[in-house]
Amino acid sequence: MAASVAGLALAMAAPASAEDVKIGFLGGFTGPIESLTPPIFEGVKLAVDQVNAQGGILDGKIDLVQGDSTCADTTAASGAADRMVNSENVTALVGPLCSGATIAAANTAAIPGGVVLISPAATSPALTGLDDNDLVFRTAPSDAYQGQMLAKTLRADGVENIAVTYVNNDYGKGFADALAAAFAEQGGSVAANVAHEDGKADYRAEIGQLAGSGADMLVVLAYADGSGQTIIRQAIEGGDFAKFAGGDGMISDTLVPAVGEAPLQGMVATRPGSSETDGTSVFNKLAEEAGVPPTGTFVPQGYDAAFLIALAIEKNGNGGREGLSKALREVASAPGEVILPGEWEKAKKLLAEGADINYEGASGSHEFDDNGDVPGVIVKTVVDGVVFKEVGQVD
């Protein structure tokens, strides 16, 4: 069985078309992040469109194919990844977006198939220790860091006592563990830390346990189109909590309209963001011109993942899979002439001349460490009206 799988991976190692190169995008088009996925895909597509409009890749174009990982269903994520790797014969993957889906896709398809995978949104610390043959990367920082920054944000706001509920998966547990440890280290009290399953209609039992802790604030580490929305709505209906906070999975334009504007005013949530660099400024302008939300949750990270893959393929000199992770590290890091978002034509010319390049992206620098992780930036957002508005970087 192992030999047949290895043989299939080798047989699929070159793209189906000699002219075009296939890159796959796996996102949660259905499920608990269905409102977050389309803008991220727009960011990915913007990068692909720029490459194709500025001379293309190698001797052809990028053919972007998409699949639905559903986020919550790891079996579906594995199946979608298998189709991408072994049927669509993609050279590389952007996504999945959710941590559990990313780990499943990596272990069942990408790693056995020798396919580089860059997730723009999978933030679980569990990805750091993945045995991945240097194939799995991400352009967003780990929740080991975001948990610290959310704790710092809440303590700076004067929050003393929190109850935490998290979706019972790789994302939720990793985030909750990091937050609880950091909040306690910074002098706060975690009165309750309760897991919940996604997709239930009623969370009143869990809410009762959380409310019974006497905490001042409920921190929900889940998804805005899934359990997170239901828990907040039922906590408000029951009069159990009046103050809420969350992480990146809760930042969606659908949350406030679904739950109600008045009770969520001032709700705080953190997410990976972008530092103020030349790369972010250039991207913001390009994205606005293209009708893509430049500061949307994980939109810059999605753009960077796609642009980095394109640069790595061009650097590698062919549309195959072998050598791509090495090329990725080379185009993402100093030394080299700086390439900013949208500068594909410049990068293509430099690579053809044998020059080194260093991509400085929409979400900042991507100096991947040995685990494929990046430091990244965390920003604070606050509900104002019906949307989450970014108010600044958490230092």
Per-residue pLDDT tens over the stretch 150-206: 999 999 999 999 999 999 999 999 999 999 999 999 999 999 999 999 999 999 999
What CATH number was assigned to the domain covering residues 2-141+276-365?
3.40.50.2300
Domain spanning 143-271: CATH 3.40.50.2300? yes
Q: What is the residue extent of each domain of the chain?
A: 2-141+276-365, 143-271
Tell me the pairing of strands 378-384 and 387-393: antiparallel
> Is residue 90 very low, low, confident or very high in pLDDT (cuts 50, 70, 90)?
very high
Tell me the pairing of strands 268-272 and 378-384: antiparallel
Residue with tokens 């990844």: 81
Contact criterion met (CB below 8 Å) for 321 and 13: yes
Characterize 136-168 residue by residue with b for buried, 16 or more Cβ atoms within 10 angstroms of its Cβ, and e for exposed. bbbbbbbbbbbbbbbbbbbbeeebeebbbbbbb
Mean of per-residue pLDDT scores for the chain = 95
> Do the first three CATH levels of 2-141+276-365 and 143-271 match, i.e. the same topology?
yes
DSSP letter for each residue of 136-147: EEESS--HHHHH
**Spatial separation of the C-alpha atoms in residues 233 and 203, rounded to whole Å:** 10
**Spatial separation of the C-alpha atoms in residues 112 and 106, rounded to whole Å:** 8
* pLDDT for 106: 99
Burial of 268 (0-12, 13-18, 19+ CB in 10 A): buried
Tell me the pairing of strands 189-196 and 161-167: parallel
Q: What are phi and psi of 110, to 5 degrees?
A: -65, -50
> Is the pLDDT at 17 greater than 70, yes or no?
no
pTM above 0.85, yes or no: yes
Per-residue pLDDT tens over the stretch 55-71: 999 989 999 999 999 99
* pLDDT for 19: 77
HSE of 97, CA atoms in CB hemisphere, 13 A = 33
* pLDDT for 99: 98
**Spatial separation of the C-alpha atoms in residues 3 and 9, rounded to whole Å:** 10
Q: What are phi and psi of 295, to 5 degrees?
A: -110, 15
**Spatial separation of the C-alpha atoms in residues 160 and 218, rounded to whole Å:** 12
Average pLDDT over residues 332-358: 98
Greatest Cα pair distance, the chain, in angstroms, is 66
